[in-house]
Amino acid sequence: MATPNANAVSHHRWDDIPAEPMKGTITRKLVTGERLMIAHVHLKKGDDVPRHHHENEQLTYIISGALHFWFGENDEREIVVRAGEVVVIPSNVPHRALALEDTLDCDIFNPPRIDWLTGTDDYLRR
């Protein structure tokens, strides 16, 4: 097995990454590796993320604030995720969310969200 190249390591500072404006007052910042993506998503109280699904497995860690999630095609399950809590969303599970407070959400995806990288994530841009 080949030894990994130390020069492939990259270093990022959230403060140096420009915030991308989305729908409402939502903004996000992305860092992408070959097989993972991490995002800081800022939502103001009342911002909503419309129902969507994706092939990517998702971990959502709430750093501050709170998000109310609905899961399933007919909102079969509801979970409020607060600061210090994590929700694991399996591949292709429909979900939507509402910010109950001003919120900083850290999302991790495997594989990286191609629609986020190419700007074809219309559900977050309307």
Segments in the chain forming alpha helices (H): 114-118
Q: Comparing C-alpha atoms, which of 120, 45, 58, 69 is closest to residue 92?
A: 58
Q: Which two tokens stand for residue 114?
A: 């191609």
What is the amino acid identity at position 117?
A: L
pLDDT tens-digit series, residues 68-107:
999 999 999 999 999 999 999 999 999 999 999 999 999 9
CA distance 79 to 69: 5
Q: Which two tokens stand for residue 41?
A: 């998503």
Please state whether the predicted TM-score (pTM) of the whole model is above 0.85: yes
Percent of the chain's residues with pLDDT above 90? 92
Q: Which two tokens stand for residue 75?
A: 């909102």
User: Domain limits of the chain?
Assistant: 18-111
Predicted confidence (pLDDT) at residue 4 exceeds the cutoff of 80: no
- Residue for token digits 């694991």? 88
CA distance 30 to 17: 8
CATH 1.10.10.10 fits 18-111, yes or no: no
